[in-house]
Structure 1
Amino acid sequence: MTTRHDLSRRGLLKAAAASAGAIAFPTIVPASALGRDEKAAPSDRVVVGCIGTGGRGRGLIGMFMGQPDVQLAAVCDVDASHRAQGKQEVDERAGNADCASYHDFRELLARDDVEAVIVATPDHWHGIASVAAAEAGKDIYCEKPLTNTVAEGRAIVDAVERHGRILQVGSHERSGDNARYACELVRNGRIGRIRSVRINLPDTDSHHEEAKAHAGAAAPEAIPEGFDYDFWLGHTPRVPYLEDRCHFWWRFQLAYGGGEMTDRGAHVIDIAQLGLGADHTGPVHVEARGRRGEGLYDAFWDYEFTNTYADGVTLIGSTQGPRGLKFEGEDGWIFVEIHGGRLEASSPSLLEEPIGPDEIHLGRSPGHQRNFLDCVRSRTRPVAPAEAGHRTATICHLNNIAMLVGTPLAWDPEAEQVTNCEEANRLLSPAMRKPWRL
């Protein structure tokens, strides 16, 4: 196991936990630990590796390397082109050629110097990669949604707890001040008892329209040189290579992603869970209907869903805009825009109310990547821990499953089982293609 940071030895201030351990305050890196380029001295840096260096992976490389106390030591991708682009991104930012590159993520995880990893693979790889990282003693920043199946999500939560790891889900809306303030207002009763939360997941962006217009199945194509397609497929069924199956477009195929339901639902539903104080649980009844795509892109479009919690609160979702969520209470409402953070309320003065010292405080995040790094140092809980990400992803998956089986689902959030449909239960944990397993 990698030796963790000793904050006192390295002259760092311990991070204090906000609101009963909700999040960690920013770690303060003393000026004496910074070099002339405002970067931390090598002995004070968190050594990070990145698994998956497509567009999102390279974006996260930039975000992490923008922090003063990060050394990005290694990248990994099964596509040689992406792998080379990832290494180039790191080397150009670091001003050297020291970044190692790997084809197999297990080689990266075997490095003793790597303390934390970014998992920015397609969704179907999050489970195996994150569990392996936890078992290797690494802390993990895993992109949202946490996983592509319910069983994989629980496996990650269990592995992180068993090995004492820090995991931050990439649901970065949780780090927004406005979103956290809105959730504080809701949880402190400013709009009365919550009746429902409206979930808006519009599917009319240009990439949605392009996916909807896809012509369907096509003849198999030659696998590009340098792309380990079988490794990319991983535990999913072996199917012929198509360029349109991979790189970005995987998100609209249920074997690898969950469509807009999990892509942006992992943000919008996540803030609903935070506002309801439901990070440890979920609804007990799930109804959903929508139009399944034909051909290659088989995710759902134009859907509606109603998810009911044990206390009667409902999530009422659709593909209408604007993207975000609306908490509806007996005494008013609050709307939170996703990817922008704009707030609206039934009364403008509501958004000016202070949160009293004896009320529920959710704390503030210094930024999603910064919060993760602070928690790596302090060993405190991040703003988007594994359990919260798993519960959010589970709701998304249950909506997709309800549409697949065509019947409402009775869900036991404690046992994490559907109690009225065995077909739905089987979809919680699809079989994995050998040799991959959790």
Structure 2
Amino acid sequence: MPQSFTGLTRRKFLAVGAAAAAAPSILTSSAKAAPSERITVGVVGLGSRGFNLVDDLLHSPDAQIVAVCDVDTLHYRDQPWGNGRQFGLQAGREYIDQKYGSKTGVSMTRDYRDICARDDIDAVVVATPDHWHALCTLEALRGGKDVYCEKPVTHTFREGQTVYREVAKQKAIFQTGSQQRSDWRFRRAVELVHNGHLGEIRSIEVGLPPGYDKPQGDPTVVKPPEHLDYDFWCGPAPMLPYMQARHHRWWRGHRAFGGGVLMDWIGHHNDITHWALDLDQSGPVKVEAVGWTFPETDIYNTPFQYELKCEYEGGAKSSISSRNKVGTRLVGDKGWVFVTRGKIEASQPAWTDAKFDPGSEKVYASDNHMQNFLNGVRTRRACICPAETGHRSITPGHLAYVSQALGRALQWDAKTETVVNDRAANELLQQQDYRQPWG
């Protein structure tokens, strides 16, 4: 889109226009904004989650997808070729054109930097595997873009610090894809805590799914398919032998690409713990990995069963474990609440009624995670799960990997983001090895 706003950047133009018009499209989805007023978006990563986010954008009256990026032209995720839904670059553009009802000129690229360099794009959505989150996000931020990035916000702790500091430096809008914050049940659980219904929080149980104990697909090492640029897909990570069991859907089982199911889910249910305890810019004071078991196969090197024990200022203790019931259970000296997707339970059933008013202490309310991001792009109001919040929510997971490696509990100083009196732990926590030329 031409820069014809007389000195205004497109971002400022959108914000000024929204304010002047009282931003009706921010409050309702009943009408599509004019093309010149829509937020132009580039999407990087067109796997299953990427398509979910594309759907969110297509349902918003405020967004227009103008570019897509993926290093795989066409695939069927973990299904045999030709079975199930199509994913990938070509499939993504065709799907968007179909939903818009015409050839919209959505551009395709295999290189995310092409999207980040464009002056006519306002926001970038990052839905790649975890090992690409930081590089794509940083390139977009430095290109003047706002960013919606899937959780976990970054693959490593050091990347997380770099990202949230760059967001602040660029004064950018950032949304972490921890979409449970935009669900009334999770908001209710947090407001019950904030309004004192549970009393003093004594313990928390965070349940996450178990990891992979055996190959989740065909473990045969084969030549990468022609439709995939596997070298680029690996990017900053080691270029491991290609196999179905460690590619689409199952890549997170190896630390080269992800942090296992632990890091996949900690940014959801532990995120609610931090929200409830007002720790969005802080964290625990102690973390210890206990009872970890690993798969017998060397295809994966992330834990199958695991537990993290955390302690917080004030004495509250938490267990984050694959052996707990999936969800978040907060227990106080006056009552308890358990919340998971689609369900909320409490010691007082009345608290779970959608019409119940928990009290005057209200938290940030969002009922649509993607729309909350788009609203932020227009108004410059911070999103419900900004970069540092996403980083802090998964920090116990990063610390747990260090604790497991060293075989000891870690005393954590959340203010300085360092392990107290433990040089070896801090060196492991800050470790960052990129394959060239991505270093």
Instruction: Give TM-score, length-normalised by structure 2.
Output: 0.88
Distance 1:229 1:196, change over 3 A: same
2-structure distance, mates of 1:179, 1:68: 26
Query: Which SS does the other structure have where 1:304 is aligned?
Result: strand
Q: Does 2:43 match 1:50?
A: yes
The one of 61, 77, 95 equivalent to 1:89 is 95
Equivalence map 1:8-87=2 (5 Å): 8-9=16-17, 12-13=21-22, 27-28=26-27, 38-81=31-74, 82-87=88-93
1:383-394 to 2 correspondences below 5 Å = 383-394=384-395
Distance 1:29 1:214 in 2: 46
Secondary structure of 1:112's partner? Answer: coil
Distance 2:69 2:117 in 1: 12
Is 1:302 equivalent to 2:318 in the alignment?
A: no
Tell me the residue number matched to 1:173.
180
For residue 372 of structure 1, give the secondary structure of its aligned residue in structure 2: helix
Q: Secondary structure of 2:26's partner?
A: coil
How big is the shift at 1:146? 0.4
Q: Counterpart in 1 of 2:322?
A: 319
Distance 1:385 1:14 in 2: 22
Instruction: Pick which of 271-280 and 226-235 moved more.
Output: 226-235
CA distance in 2, matches of 1:47, 1:101: 15
Contact 1:49/1:73 (CA < 8 Å) preserved in 2?
A: yes
Tell me the amino acid that sits aligned with residue 255 of structure 1: A
Q: Which amino acid aligns with 2:17?
A: R
| Conserved? CA contact 2:191–2:363, under 8 Å | yes
Distance 1:219 1:76 in 2: 28
Q: CA RMSD in A?
A: 2.1
Helix, strand or coil at the partner of 2:392? helix
**Residues 1:424 and 1:8: Cα distance change in structure 2 (over 3 Å):** closer
Who is 1:231 aligned against? 232
Could you tell me which residue of structure 2 aligns to residue 137 of structure 1? 144
Shift of residue 319, structure 1, vs aligned partner: 1.5
Read off the aligned partner of 1:284 and give its amino acid letter. V
Does structure 2 retain, via aligned residues, the 8 Å contact 1:2–1:137? Answer: no
Q: Secondary structure at the match of 2:215?
A: coil
1:91–1:13 Cα change, 3 Å: same
**Counterparts of 2:43 and 2:346, CA distance in 1:** 40
The answer (yes or no) to whether the contact 2:219–2:245 under 8 Å persists in 1 is no
Q: Using the aligned pairs only, state the percent identity.
A: 38
Q: 2:83 corresponds to which residue?
A: none
Match of 1:185 in 2: 192
Structure 1 residues 367-397: Cα deviation after superposition (integer angstroms, max 9, x where no partner):
1011111111000011111111000121222
The runs of 5 or more residues in structure 2 that have no matched partner are 1-8, 75-87
Helix, strand or coil: the match of 1:334? Answer: strand
Instruction: Check 1:142–1:237 CA distance in 2 against 1; reply closer, same or farther (3 A cut).
Output: same
Contact persistence 1:283–1:411 (CA under 8 A) = yes
Local SS of the residue matching 1:239 = coil
Q: 1:236 to 1:308 in 2, by over 3 A?
A: same
Provide the rounded CA distance (Å) in 2 between the counterparts of 1:284 and 1:366: 32
Where do residues 14-413 of structure 1 align in structure 2 (5 Å cutoff)? 27-28=26-27, 38-81=31-74, 82-97=88-103, 98-203=105-210, 211-214=212-215, 220-289=221-290, 290-294=292-296, 295-337=298-340, 339-340=341-342, 342-351=343-352, 353-356=356-359, 359-413=360-414
Letter in 2 for 1:4: K
**How far apart are 1:62 and its partner, in Å?**
1.0
Contact kept in structure 2, 1:411 and 1:418, CA below 8 Å? yes
Q: Larger RCO: Structure 1 or Structure 2 (Cα < 8 Å, ≥ 6 residues apart)?
A: 1
Q: In structure 2, the residue corresponding to 1:212 is in which secondary structure?
A: coil
Alpha-carbon distance in 2 for matches of 1:226, 1:202? 32
Alpha-carbon shift at residue 94 of structure 1 (Å): 1.4
AA at the equivalent of 2:21? L
Q: Which runs of 5+ in 1 are unaligned?
A: 16-25, 32-37
Q: Which of 420, 427, 434 in structure 2 is aligned with 1:432?
A: 434
Q: CA deviation at 1:244?
A: 2.2
User: 1:4 is paired with a residue of what secondary structure?
Assistant: helix
Secondary structure of 2:366 counterpart: coil
* Distance of aligned partners of 1:30 and 1:256 in 2 relative to their CA distance in 1, 3 Å threshold: closer
In structure 1, distance between residues paired with 2:389 and 2:273? 11
In the TM superposition, residue 250 of structure 1 has moved relative to its aligned partner by 0.9
1:7, 1:13 within 8 Å by CA — same for their partners in 2?
A: no
Partner amino acid, structure 2, of 1:426: E
Q: Which shifted more, 397-406 or 101-110?
A: 397-406
**Contact persistence 2:15–2:380 (CA under 8 A):** no
- Tell me which amino acid in the other structure corresponds to 1:280: Q
Task: Specify the alignment match of 1:18 in structure 2.
Answer: none
Q: 1:310 to 1:40 in 2, by over 3 A?
A: same
Q: CA deviation at 1:122?
A: 0.2
CA contact (8 A) 1:78 1:228 kept: yes
- Kept after mapping to 1: 8 A contact 2:285/2:411: yes
- Name which of structure 1's ranges 216-225 and 375-384 shifts more when overlaid on structure 2: 216-225
**Deviations 1:106-155 (Å, cap 9, x if unpaired)?**
01111111100110000111111111111101111100110111110111
Aligned mates of 2:352, 2:294 — CA distance in 1: 39
- Aligned residues of 1:199 and 1:326 also touching (Cα < 8 A): yes
